[in-house]
Amino acid sequence: MKKFRARYAPSPTGHLHIGNARTALFNYLFARHHGGDFIIRIEDTDVARNVEGGITSQLNNLKWLGINWDEGVDVGGNFGPYNQLSRLELYKKYAFELLEKGYAYKDFKEGSEDFAIRFKVPENVTYQFPDIIRGTLKFESKDVEDWIILKDNGIPTYNFAVVIDDHFMEITHVFRGEEHITNTPKQLMVYDALGWDYPLFGHMTIIVNEDRKKLSKRDTGTIQFIEEYKNLGFLPEAILNFLSLLGWSPKDDEEILSKDALIALFDEHKLSAAPSFFDKNKLAYINSRYLKMLSMDDLKELTRPFLLNHGIEIKNEIWFESLLSILKDRINFGAEIVTYYEKFFHEDFHLEQGVLEEIKDFDNKSVIKAFIEMIETVDFNDDSLINQAIKDTGKKLEIKGKALFMPIRIATTGEAHGPSLPVSLSLLGKDLVIKRMNKTLEVLKGETT
């Protein structure tokens, strides 16, 4: 059986977008699942729109995601060159072959000897092909006008160059966005005219935003580029996992899947033709799951730059680890450490009425007052001493359990539930703890007057 070969063909007109990253991923998963080759080919003929550093950025972000390739501009291969501007003579050769065979004709510029080459669309021909995702698709030649294959400056058009490239790179399968469906009949015409076999096509669903409208680069409500997620402290494994679920799902509906699992489970016949919803909450959830799997050292490495860049002092590594132990279950991505840090240490301490309801049946004022007295001489750098102070408060008042812990927790953190109370209090520091408890007493006093 012929070895499967799939490709991703970006243009250097911008940075790696969510939609393009998914296209690259599905071609990659397909190739790896079937033991085939994955190729990256650069479509750089739109010189006016090319962005400096665009390709380097795209390739670096693909590598960051964990997508690697067998052939390309940076790794070479037996089917190069892997960028179109280095293949102009090849396009020219086959454009003139079609011209000589009568499949195309010269289209002269008015008052000039310069000409483009235009493909002559056959009359009364039905073009059809089996789409892996959508079944058989049909087009009539009468709906397609004669179209340019080679411009007068020697640059090929997309629909012509892609056929030449896919043929000579022996591409067997092409997975791409559904916006390319209408390009396919033009490409089939070239395949037929040159007597070449078609690759198998699969046109993937569009991605829609929260308004169920097609996700576009102008959609400011959704982060669009992989680089932005990287800069926010998302994990590449999580982004890769999330992208894989945009138009595909495994049989058992498991959502947390490693790259190896994705490769093993990938089935091109399970790709959906229905629009894929870009669910930001699901992305945050998936990333939080991966964050929870990080070692403490890796979590520190991820979050440290965000704290330092916001001028937040990391007192020492033990303090830092205590902070992360408190906040790690709350953050969905690295940059959120700053949000929760500021919320945790905020001077403007606020008590929600719903939280106060949690302690209305306890002798909360007595507990808070007793604990303030108990911690006057306690070293807050040692959370074991804080824990002992909580126990001593309970012994003094002859209470334990929720009646003891809840008033202290709510009076100091503003929350009814959370991680280790002694560690939380140690991080807050004695001064802030006492300040918050006194404010809580004022609030409670106001409720009873």
Task: Return averaged pLDDT per consecutive 10 residues of the chain, 449 residues in all.
Answer: 93 90 98 98 89 90 98 96 97 98 95 95 96 97 97 96 98 97 97 98 94 81 92 98 95 89 96 94 96 96 97 93 93 96 86 84 88 92 92 92 91 88 92 92 76
Structure confidence at residue 445 (pLDDT): 83
Fold of the domain built from segment(s) 346-448: Arc Repressor Mutant, subunit A (1.10.10)
HSE of 384 in the Cβ direction (CA atoms, 13 Å)? 0
- Residue 449 has a pLDDT of 47
CA 113, CA 9: separation in Å to the nearest integer?
A: 34
Q: Are residues 83 and 47 in contact, defined by beta-carbon separation less than 8 angstroms? A: no
pLDDT of residue 352: 86
Residue type, 6: A
Q: Which residue has the tokens 């002092």?
A: 313
What is the pLDDT, as a whole number, of residue 361? 78
* Distant-in-sequence, close-in-space partners of 228: CB < 8 Å, separation ≥ 6: none
pLDDT of 353 = 87
Quick one: CA dihedral 221, 225, 231, 232, positive or negative?
positive
CB 172 within 8 A of CB 4: yes
Residue 170 sits at φ, ψ, to 5 deg, of 55, 40
Please give the radius of gyration of the chain, using alpha carbons only, rounded to the nearest integer: 31
Amino acid at 84: Q
Residue 30 corresponds to which tokens in the numbers above? 């397909």
First to last CA, the chain: 85
pLDDT for the residue 102:
97
In angstroms, rounded to a whole number, what is the distance separating the alpha carbons of residues 140 and 147?
Answer: 15
Residues 6+ apart with CB under 8 A from 389: 371, 374, 375, 378
Find the Cα–Cα–Cα–Cα dihedral 372, 373, 374, 377, rounded to 10°. Answer: 100
Helix ranges restricted to H, 36-157: 54-65, 88-100
CATH of domain 5-207: 3.40.50.620
pLDDT score for 35 = 98
C-alpha 111/C-alpha 430 separation (Å) is 87
What's residue 231's pLDDT?
Answer: 97
The encoded tokens of residue 135 equal 């079944």
250, β-bridge pairs: none
State the pLDDT at residue 386.
94
**For 44-116, where are the alpha helices, taking DSSP H only?**
54-65, 88-100
Q: How far apart are CA 274 and CA 383, in angstroms?
A: 54
Confidence (pLDDT) at 448: 56
Tokens coding 112? 């000039």
Q: Name 12's bridge partners.
A: none
Segments making up each domain of the chain, as ranges: 5-207, 346-448
Q: How far apart are CA 119 and CA 87, in angstroms?
A: 20
